[in-house]
Structure 1
Amino acid sequence: MDTITAGQWVYANRHEGICIGAPAKSGEWYRSFTVGFFDRLFDVDGWQTIATIAARHIGAPTDDVLYNLERARWAIELDIVRDWWGGARGPLVGFDYVSIEQLQDVQNQEDIRHAGRAAKKLHTKKRRSQFASVRSDLILALLDSGVPYVCAHPACDISVNLTIDHRKALSRGGSDDLDNLQFMCVGHNSQKRDGP
């Protein structure tokens, strides 16, 4: 993506430059404007005056040009646009021209995807805290039933950082009943093959 079409008469390029003018039919955007290219227009005090003069020169309504310039400014300042331009990745790779409307659609999709990620993280956090409390209850229940807090592997006597292991894996029809649970160290638990 090299150029954002910000509405009639206004285009922005990957170097934060703004073109004001009417596109010609040459196909090369940098040669297609009757007024020209302004490098970092929004960094200049009085850029509205420059835009007004350019609009008068091409016979375009000043208010329309200023409105479209604000839209171009919004697009240029989007982090997502900078990522697309700088990193050559994302949903707009391959576009030479993209409109503000297309950018707004993609921004909305990114916002939805980000909200989905945030919701998933929150769900995972809640699930982990619930699992931690269930795990604590299982540990206490195992200890209360007389199961020693030592690795259940015959040749191991580790008694710190133990995991709760299912003798018969849940995937093989095992249950969370106390008679199917035992303590194991991480090393021996990971050596077991619990798969179906």
Structure 2
Amino acid sequence: MNLEPMIYQLQQELGFCSPRGISAVLDESADGFVKGEAVCCVLLQRRKSAHRVYAKVLSARVGTDGNKKFGIFHPSSETQEELMTASYKEANIDPLDITYFESHGTGTKVGDPQEMKAIYNAYCRAPGRINPLPVGALKSNMGHAESSSGVAAIIKVLIAYENECIPPNLNCKQLKQELLQYFPPLLAINQKYPYKPG
């Protein structure tokens, strides 16, 4: 729990938070993220001990945007791409077999373009993808839950798997101009998207 108001004030003053209070991930109107709250957990078990299997963990890695060129809060598409590529190589997965990508997608002016560039380079350009790659963004639905946002996104994916439907990214009406070069093959989900997990 983060109960220190100075953190929120600093994020607002630095322009991270949407002054409108609208999370518009990937949209032309995106002007920052919206704070969200989540209390969640995922139970990991060995497959043979599990009563029900929702998904299987093939690779887990942590990245850092160290060695910054453009400032401490500017994300790096290059380091994100390196992490994505290392993850699927470690798990021995063909990137063309990936049929859905749940993004970090904050709705910030700099973050979304950097992340979409990394996803495009790692999963589309390098392997030569032709088929669409749907991209989800939980933060468009509930805001940025800070340190619990990753686990919340995993839960969203598991629910989407179970219901064979990916919920739409809210407030994504018109793609940000600088993202158009990646869409397609990336596909922004604007309405309920039928999905058969593979």
Q: Same fold (TM over 0.5)?
A: no
Q: Point out which structure has higher relative CO (alpha carbons under 8 A, 6+ apart).
A: 2
Query: Which category of TM-score, normalised to the shorter sequence, fits these structures?
Result: under 0.3
Richer in helix (by share): 1
